[in-house]
Amino acid sequence: MSLTGPDDPTPASRTVLDADQISRACARMAHEVLEANRGASGLVLLGIPTRGVPLAHRLARAMAEAEGGLEAPIPVGSLDVTMYRDDLRRHPTRAVGRTEVPVGVDGAVVVLVDDVLYSGRTVRAALDALGDLGRPRAVRLAVLVDRGHRELPVRADHVGKNLPTRSDERVSVRLAEVDGADEVTITRDEA
């Protein structure tokens, strides 16, 4: 069944980023983070599960390459936001992930990493979760895709791809570490 109408030339699903484009976007974001921080000192990368975690690891590797070898690796961890979400009453049964923070966040520059920025509600939950861990000097947001449609006043500091979408479209990020392949696709929801 086609998701497009007879007058709509837009395909039901289309790839907007392939593996090479994702790799270039991560490299660019890594350079932007380093430039904004004036180097890697004091950085902590926290990925928001599921795909934010491998993206955080990719950014850390790209930063290490850009810096030509660091004295110590950039700390990378994960920040589970499940219990901080504002939709728990509507969806009370959720699998709770794990928060793993390799170093203290007090006084650090924490870069939250996620795959898609949409309404901003996941980022709000991440900020609440981070507040329970300590008081960073600064918090920045790096996302692979910013698709718009914000419900909260949230803006990413580092974006791999700004991708204007319609509200009836779904952005899917697939990463090799989780899904076996790297790609970002847009799919139209059925009417």
Residue 35: pLDDT over 80: yes
Q: Is residue 103 part of a domain?
A: yes
Mean pLDDT of 92-100: 72
- DSSP, res 152: S
Between 52-66 and 19-37, two packed helices, what is the crossing angle to 10 degrees? 60
Cα(140)–Cα(84) distance, integer angstroms: 19
Label residue 95 by pLDDT band (50, 70, 90). Answer: low
- What the block records as the tokens of 18 is 């392939």
Residue whose tokens read 């609440």: 128
End-to-end Cα spacing for the chain: 12
For residues 3 and 76, what is the distance between their CA atoms, to the nearest angstrom? Answer: 40
Q: Is residue 50 part of a domain?
A: yes
Q: Is the pLDDT of residue 87 over 80?
A: no
- Structurally, the chain folds into a number of domains equal to 1
Domain assignment present for 188: no
Beta bridge partners of 150: none
Q: Is residue 6 part of a domain?
A: no
Residue 190 located in a structural domain = no
Q: What is the pLDDT of residues 17-30, one digit of tens each?
A: 999 999 999 999 99
Establish if 68 belongs to a structural domain. yes
Write out the residue range of the structural domain in which residue 105 sits.
19-166
Q: What is the CATH number of the domain that holds 77?
A: 3.40.50.2020
| Residue 144 located in a structural domain | yes
State yes or no: pLDDT of 90 exceeds 90. no
4 Cβ neighbours under 8 A, 6+ residues apart:
10, 11, 12, 188
Residue 14 lies in a domain: no
* 171-to-39, 88, 133, 153, 174 alpha-carbon distances in Å: 32, 23, 31, 21, 10
What's residue 1's pLDDT?
A: 35
pLDDT given at position 86 = 85
